Amino acid sequence: MMRLDKYLSELGAGTRSQIKQEIKKGQVSVNGTTAKDPGQRIDEEADQVCFQGRLLRYLRYEYYMLHKPAGCVTACRDKVHRTVMDYLDTDRRDLSPVGRLDLDTEGLLLITNDGALAHRLLSPARHVEKTYAAQVEGTLTEEHISLFASGLEIGDEKPTAPARLVITESGPRSEALLTITEGRFHQVKRMFAAVGCTVTYLKRLSMGGLTLDEDLRPGEYRPLKPEELAQLGLCPGPGENGEN
Ligand code: URA
């Protein structure tokens, strides 16, 4: 149960004061009766709330997979760049990206209002695997595989945790898949820099059992499917977008 004005503001109907005005104007009804009290308690799953004549559908938690394009920042607001949130066609205000990809990094980004899931995926103690495809300037060899596996000094207090490097192309320009279990600032770029390579292209392919849907072009997004929610350890139930 929650207050009517909070419910409407979570769904992007406006600020609490705008919503109060709309209620005053008779623009909100609950189960067919015009609402008068912004503090009226709403059962999010059972009550039928209409705003300006439209029936609202409440999803407690929403989960989206965005194929982040290069050139946008992983933030909710930015004065200079486009943000990842600009790609979502939603009025909902409580969504945010889980973790961060650099301005020039592409790939899988989960966007949700489920703070507990975000916390779980980002918690260093959970060692959630993230796999990146990288193109680098520099020749990657077998030796790099063991260096990455044993942990690298990248200028932090501690060396990096063991990481899995799979070389897919070796030459003056190399390509590789790198799986890490931490989320340090610019971690992948700093790891390659520590072995003398410069990352020229970076794309996240997966995170904690969730894999980027290659049918999504950069800038496109979609709700997570029930099986993807299950992979993240979530059971989609009524009021979550996995049921669609
Ligand atoms: N590591 C990086 O260096 N950049 C990213 O965007 C993600 C991981």
Ligand 1 centre to CA of 185 (Å) is 7
Strands 106-112 and 198-207, by their bridges, are parallel
Ligand 1 centre to CA of 80 (Å) is 20
Using most ligand atoms within 8 A of CB, pick from 68, 98, 100 the residue to mutate for ligand 1. Answer: 100
| Average pLDDT rounded to a whole number, residues 70-91 | 94
**Is pLDDT of 46 > 70?**
yes
Q: How far apart are CA 50 and CA 42, in angstroms?
A: 12
Q: How far apart are CA 53 and CA 37, in angstroms?
A: 18
At residue 234, the pLDDT reads 81
Tell me, using a 6 A CB cutoff, whether residue 188 lines ligand 1. yes
Closest ligand 1 atom number to CA of residue 100: 6
Report whether 183 contacts 122 (CB < 8 A). Answer: yes
**Is pLDDT of 45 > 90?**
no
Using most ligand atoms within 8 A of CB, pick from 189, 190, 198 the residue to mutate for ligand 1. Answer: 189
Q: Catalytic residue at 102?
A: yes
At residue 59, the pLDDT reads 75
At residue 44, the pLDDT reads 85
Nearest residue (by CA) to ligand 1, atom 7, is: 101
Ligand 1 centre to CA of 134 (Å) is 10
Tell me, using a 6 A CB cutoff, whether residue 108 lines ligand 1. no
At residue 222, the pLDDT reads 96
* Segments of 102-220 assigned E as strands: 106-112, 130-137, 164-169, 173-180, 198-207, 210-211
**Is pLDDT of 218 > 60?**
yes
Catalytic residue (choose from 94, 102, 104, 213): 102
Percent of the chain past pLDDT 70, that is, above it, reads 96
At residue 235, the pLDDT reads 63
* Segments of the chain assigned E as strands: 2-3, 28-30, 33-34, 41-42, 49-51, 54-55, 63-68, 72-73, 82-83, 96-97, 106-112, 130-137, 164-169, 173-180, 198-207, 210-211, 221-223
Q: How far apart are CA 105 and CA 89, in angstroms?
A: 22
Nearest to 210 by CA among 243, 226, 232, 236: 232
Q: Which two tokens stand for residue 188?
A: 């992948």
Strands 54-55 and 49-51, by their bridges, are antiparallel
Report whether 111 contacts 88 (CB < 8 A). Answer: yes
Q: How far apart are CA 119 and CA 83, in angstroms?
A: 21
Tell me, using a 6 A CB cutoff, whether residue 187 lines ligand 1. yes
| Average pLDDT rounded to a whole number, residues 198-210 | 97
Q: How far apart are CA 213 and CA 66, in angstroms?
A: 9
**Is pLDDT of 236 > 70?**
no
Report whether 50 contacts 29 (CB < 8 A). Answer: yes
Q: How far apart are CA 70 and CA 219, in angstroms?
A: 9
Tell me, using a 6 A CB cutoff, whether residue 186 lines ligand 1. yes
Other residues' Cβ atoms within 10 Å of the Cβ of residue 34: 12
Confidence of residue 244 (pLDDT cuts 50, 70, 90): very low
Tell me, using a 6 A CB cutoff, whether residue 202 lines ligand 1. yes
Mean pLDDT of the chain: 93
Percent of the chain past pLDDT 90, that is, above it, reads 80
